[in-house]
């Protein structure tokens, strides 16, 4: 599908007892040296219109209220359509695998002294038991990587289902309802809408819903100097106009993943270093290599997965509600300054 999506139909055995579901995703460059947004997803089975039917030319994204959503097609529910549900968000590193040979002419001299070797791939694992109901029996599971090169990336996904060994451990039934997904899987726009307005969607909660919570996955993008990728921006989630969660998605541990980024850009930065000389500790000015992959970012690093935020919706009642995502200080796209926010959220509850 469009050269950036792999989609596969899977069959899952029937389980009587409680089951734990783990997802393991493995990524390696096939020649693409850049960091790219990635998403493992499942097509909602109750959505007559989905990415597959759209790719096959059998359907289109539903018409939208352009005053409310501008040109952001397919990001919230519409006629016969539910947003795609993420199983894992990730970001590819710079060239892991293809450029990991220690004799590679591009990367061999970019490896810091504290890294023994470049890794051959990057792998992440998450518990996705809360989305088991989406995978039961048969489901379409896909991988999206926003690659624009001919070579692209190699990707594999493994789902592990572990059933309880306790005979009386009856399965806890859960349900999932997608609320929003701004990942531009196919024929969609870069989502910079948050620079101009919040996005609100409606949902209906059934009477039997218990332990209701919202899961929220977000990454900020805009790789230029001062772009939303590199500047902290507060996110605000609201239900029925009442704030339920406010936080600033940010990661400052990106240097920890240097071994997965052989093709990252490297600069030299001068600083005064303290070191052990012949007569003990002394200081002098040194030039130290600093990699692009080391820089802190809006909830991601090159070579990491993204863990969903979980917000308990205590006291929420059955019936109709609204859910709103607001990023008040988000910046718009401006020429080649591609600011945008990849946001997805879903409700999960126990029956």
User: Residue 78: is its pLDDT beyond 90?
Assistant: yes
Q: What is d(CA 170, CA 164) in angstroms, rounded to the nearest whole number?
A: 9
H/E segment holding residue 9: strand 5-12
- Cβ contact 351:175 at 8 Å: yes
Confidence class for position 16, pLDDT limits 50, 70, 90: confident
Q: What is d(CA 9, CA 127) in angstroms, rounded to the nearest whole number?
A: 21
Question: What one-character-per-residue DSSP string does 30-45 give?
Answer: SS--S--EEEEEE--T
User: Residue 2: is its pLDDT beyond 80?
Assistant: no
Confidence class for position 108, pLDDT limits 50, 70, 90: confident
Report the candidate in 238, 255, 224 with the shortest Cα–Cα distance to residue 179. Answer: 238
Which pLDDT does position 11 carry in this prediction? 97
> How many independent structural domains does the chain possess?
1
Which pLDDT does position 103 carry in this prediction? 85
Q: What is d(CA 228, CA 250) in angstroms, rounded to the nearest whole number?
A: 11
Q: How far is CA 158 from CA 27, 111, 123, 260, 322, in A?
A: 12, 30, 11, 20, 35
CA atoms within 13 A on the CB side of 293: 28
What is the β-pairing status of strands 137-145 and 153-163?
Answer: unpaired
Structure tokens given for 97: 């695998």
100-119 burial: b if 16+ Cβ within 10 Å, else e: beeebeebeebbeeeeeebb
Which pLDDT does position 254 carry in this prediction? 98
Mean pLDDT, the chain, as a whole number? 96
User: Residue 54: is its pLDDT beyond 90?
Assistant: yes
Mean local confidence (pLDDT), 100-106? 89
- Cβ contact 43:52 at 8 Å: yes
Structure tokens given for 1: 């599908």
CATH number, residue 312 = 2.60.120.1570
The domain in which residue 201 lies consists of: 5-350
Report the candidate in 309, 174, 341 with the shortest Cα–Cα distance to residue 237. Answer: 309
- Cβ contact 103:316 at 8 Å: no
Q: How far is CA 67 from CA 156, 166, 329, 330, in A?
A: 40, 54, 20, 19
Q: What is d(CA 345, CA 182) in angstroms, rounded to the nearest whole number?
A: 10
H/E segment holding residue 7: strand 5-12
User: Residue 168: is its pLDDT beyond 90?
Assistant: no
* Candidate from 10-24, 38-52, 73-87, 162-176 with smallest mean pLDDT: 162-176
Mean local confidence (pLDDT), 53-69? 94
- Tokens 């999506």 sit on residue: 5
201-249 confidence digits (pLDDT tens): 999 999 999 999 999 999 999 999 999 999 999 999 999 999 999 999 9
Q: What is d(CA 120, CA 92) in angstroms, rounded to the nearest whole number?
A: 13
23-52 confidence digits (pLDDT tens): 999 999 999 999 999 999 999 999 999 999
Q: Using alpha carbons only, how large is the chain's radius of gyration in Å? A: 22
Q: Name the DSSP letter for residue 269.
A: E
- Cβ contact 41:142 at 8 Å: yes
Which pLDDT does position 191 carry in this prediction? 97
Confidence class for position 324, pLDDT limits 50, 70, 90: very high
Q: What is d(CA 178, CA 82) in angstroms, rounded to the nearest whole number?
A: 7
Within the chain, residue ranges assigned H as helices are 51-55, 66-69
């Amino acid at each position: 599908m469009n050269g950036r999506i792999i989609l596969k139909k899977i069959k899952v055995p029937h389980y009587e007892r409680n089951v734990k579901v783990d997802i393991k995703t493995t990524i390696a460059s096939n020649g693409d040296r850049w960091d790219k947004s990635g998403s493992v997803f499942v097509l909602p089975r109750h959505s007559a219109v989905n990415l597959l039917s759209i790719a096959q030319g059998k359907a289109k994204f539903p018409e939208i209220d352009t005053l409310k959503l501008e040109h952001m097609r397919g990001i919230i529910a519409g006629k016969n359509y539910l947003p795609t549900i993420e199983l894992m968000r990730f970001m590819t590193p710079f060239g892991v695998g293809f450029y990991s040979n220690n004799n590679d002419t591009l990367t061999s001299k970019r490896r810091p002294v504290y890294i023994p070797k470049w890794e051959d791939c990057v792998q992440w694992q998450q518990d996705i038991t809360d989305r088991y109901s989406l995978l039961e029996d048969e489901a379409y599971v896909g991988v999206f990587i926003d690659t624009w090169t001919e070579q692209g990336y190699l990707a594999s996904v493994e789902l592990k289902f572990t059933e309880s060994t306790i005979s009386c451990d009856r399965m806890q039934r859960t349900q999932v309802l997608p609320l929003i997904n701004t990942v531009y899987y196919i024929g969609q726009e870069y989502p910079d809408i948050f620079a101009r307005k919040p996005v609100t969607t409606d949902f209906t909660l059934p009477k039997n819903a218990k332990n209701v919570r919202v899961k929220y996955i977000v990454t900020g993008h805009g790789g230029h100097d001062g772009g939303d990728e590199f500047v902290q921006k507060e996110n605000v989630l609201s239900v029925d106009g009442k704030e339920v969660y406010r936080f600033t998605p940010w990661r400052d541990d990106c240097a920890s993943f240097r071994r997965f980024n052989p093709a990252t850009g490297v600069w030299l930065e001068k600083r005064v270093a303290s070191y052990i000389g012949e007569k003990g500790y002394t200081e002098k000015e040194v030039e130290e290599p600093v990699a692009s992959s080391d820089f802190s970012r809006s909830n991601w690093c090159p070579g990491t997965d993204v863990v969903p935020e979980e917000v308990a919706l205590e006291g929420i009642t059955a019936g109709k509600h609204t859910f709103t995502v607001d990023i008040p200080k988000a910046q718009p796209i401006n020429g080649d300054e591609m600011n945008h926010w990849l946001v997805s959220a879903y409700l999960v509850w126990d029956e």
